[in-house]
Amino acid sequence: MKQKILYHGSERIIEVPVFGKGNPRNDYGPGFYMTEHEEMAKEWACSRDRDGYANQYRINLEGLTILYLTRGSYHILNWLAVLLENRTFRMNSDLMEEGKNYLLEEFLIPYKDYDIIVGYRADDSYFSFANAFLSNAISLQQLSEAMTLGNLGEQYVLKSRSAFERVIFQKVIPANKEAFYPRAGGRDLKAREAFRQMRRSRDRGIYLIDLLREGWKNNDERLQRIVLG
């Protein structure tokens, strides 16, 4: 059997994750969000400057369908389209609204058909990077590069009842806010500073307005050269 150890950071001990719950405005919609890394889970647990827990689970992945948004034939616009369908973006211009609708129409994939989604976690800094692309302020290449800033890694999201039924609680590991709250803030600040440095460089890459003018499609081979991470 294909077993995997995953962690969920929370202010609570969660021995039995409940299918059907979760914030519908999270990155990939409602689900149970986890990470492979204990230390990252502790940061998530203390994100509101409170003590928390890294809940550890074992999951049998055998037979489950898994969508890896950061590898294979998928590209950064697929990730962004999924984010656009779930997270709330403030549309400050006609271009942003047109771009959002175009990305959803051309690049949204059937992610809801999978048991588990693996992809980047759009914390505050990553969300601002995506927003900058929608504002036509950074290029597609710069957005792709920004996804590696901060070393957030990937998150695993349980989406189906079948996936929830495979989860077995192992143990809980306390997370101290004095240690892990500053780490989360420091990681975000470093990512933002690296992003500011990156934006200072002149970039003649592909911008949102270019996608709209040229009518880029999901199977455009140029997108395969712009890889997530």
For residue 144, what pLDDT is reported? 84
C-alpha distance from residue 67 to each of 73, 79, 124, 207, 221 (Å): 11, 11, 23, 27, 20
Contact at 8 Å (CB) between 119 and 74?
no
- Residues 1, 44: Cα–Cα separation, whole Å: 29
**Average pLDDT score over residue span 193-218:** 83
Looking at the predicted structure, is the pLDDT value of residue 129 above 90? no
Separation of alpha carbons 28 and 159, rounded Å: 9
pLDDT higher than 80, residue 132: yes
Above pLDDT 90, what percent of the chain?
Answer: 58
Q: How confident is the model at residue 37 (pLDDT cuts 50, 70, 90)?
A: very high
| 7 or 145, which is more confident | 7
Among 39-43, 46-50, 192-196, 223-227, the minimum mean pLDDT is found in: 223-227
Whole-number pLDDT of residue 122: 67
Instruction: Calculate mean pLDDT across residues 181-208.
Output: 76
Q: Kind and range of the H or E element at 118?
A: strand 116-120
The mean per-residue pLDDT over the stretch 144-149 comes to 76
List, in sequence order, every residue forming a beta bridge with 68; answer none if it has no partner: 118
Average pLDDT of span 56-70: 95
Check residue 85 and give its pLDDT: 94
Average per-residue pLDDT for the chain:
88
- Residue 191 has a pLDDT of 72
Query: What is the pLDDT at residue 205?
Result: 85
Tell me how crowded residue 19 is: count the other CB atoms within 10 A of its CB: 18
Q: Where does the pLDDT of residue 229 fall: very low under 50, low under 70, confident under 90, or very high at 90 and above?
A: very low
